[in-house]
Amino acid sequence: MSLILNIDTAAKEAGVSLASEGKVLQERTNGQSMDHAGWIHTAIRELMQAGNHTCTLSDIQAVAVVAGPGSYTGLRVGMATAKGLCYALNIPLISLNTLTIMAHAAVDDISPAQLLCPMVDARRMEVFTALYDASLHALVPPCALILDENSFSEWLNEYEIIFFGNGSSKWKQMVQHENAFFKNISYMPGDTAAVSYDAFEQHAFSELAYTEPIYLKDFYSVPVK
């Protein structure tokens, strides 16, 4: 039996969950993005002691972390926590992509001929995005994309595409193509648990010393005058 600790601090609402065989046993969430660092270790301790599945950290077989794209600060908090636990417990690290988890959440809502395009807002007219088929193969790998009226035009001429995520609203205002469809789809802890379990079964582990958050673009800040 696999017991995986899943950590997701990529977005405004952070979550940690304990899952067995891809099924969530316990979860905790935090909606205060500025408090993820102070919240996460207490939340993990609560997971270990909750419900009918009381266990210790030594029972965990792997730690999975949503590595991005997402909030720069949030990604660093999650990655540091996951790597610290993996090092201390001598267990594998699983690095997950936000966009892949989003696609997993949406795959049951499409036909085999449609494609999935999750979008995470990256400010202005830029999004973090990727393009997946119904088998979750990445046809366009995760990237940072500045949207314009020709974005995805070659794919839209051949396929119906489902666009979703908090970055898709800006694209909805630009695209006029008849093959562009929009849905309100959010991923849940169960989606993260399912993706991490699949990675665990495939032994798709990340190198602890060299794994970094998936930023997809350089950090930029306005200088203080």
The two structure tokens encoding residue 2: 């696999």
What stretch(es) of the chain map to CATH 3.30.420.40? 3-98+187-201, 99-182
What is the distance between the alpha carbons of residues 159 and 181, in angstroms, rounded to a whole number? 11
Residue 223: predicted pLDDT: 47
Q: Which residues contact 118 (CB under 8 A, 6 or more apart)?
A: 98, 99, 102, 103, 106, 129, 130, 132, 164, 165
Three-state SS at 10: coil
Q: What's the gap between Cα 151 and its chain centre?
A: 23
**Position with higher pLDDT, 95 vs 222:** 95
- Nearest residue to 57 (alpha-carbon basis) of 66, 70, 47: 47
What is the distance between the alpha carbons of residues 214 and 128, in angstroms, rounded to a whole number? 11
What is the distance between the alpha carbons of residues 198 and 94, in angstroms, rounded to a whole number? 10
Determine contact, residues 133/114, Cβ cutoff 8 Å. Answer: no
What is the distance between the alpha carbons of residues 124 and 137, in angstroms, rounded to a whole number? 28
Per-residue pLDDT reduced to its tens digit, 135-191:
999 999 999 999 998 999 999 999 999 999 999 999 999 999 999 999 999 899 999
| Residue 22 reports pLDDT greater than 70 | yes
Residue 5: predicted pLDDT: 97
Count helices and strands (H / E) in the chain: 6, 10
- Partners of 138 in beta bridges: 132
What is the distance between the alpha carbons of residues 18 and 27, in angstroms, rounded to a whole number? 6
What is the distance between the alpha carbons of residues 27 and 46, in angstroms, rounded to a whole number? 9
The two structure tokens encoding residue 98: 């936000």
Does the domain spanning 99-182 belong to CATH 3.30.420.40? yes
Residue 222: predicted pLDDT: 44
Residue 221: predicted pLDDT: 47
What's the whole-number mean pLDDT along residues 80-107? 97
Determine contact, residues 131/117, Cβ cutoff 8 Å. Answer: yes
Residue 139: predicted pLDDT: 97
Residue 33: predicted pLDDT: 62
What's the whole-number mean pLDDT along residues 40-65? 88
In terms of Cβ atoms closer than 10 Å to its own Cβ (0-12, 13-18, 19+), residue 103 is buried
What's the whole-number mean pLDDT along residues 99-111? 94
What percentage of the chain reaches a pLDDT higher than 70? 93
Per-residue pLDDT reduced to its tens digit, 118-129:
999 998 899 999
What percentage of the chain reaches a pLDDT higher than 90? 79
What's the whole-number mean pLDDT along residues 64-75? 94
The whole-model pTM stands at: 0.90
Superfamily of domain 3-98+187-201: ATPase, nucleotide binding domain (3.30.420.40)
What's the whole-number mean pLDDT along residues 188-208? 96
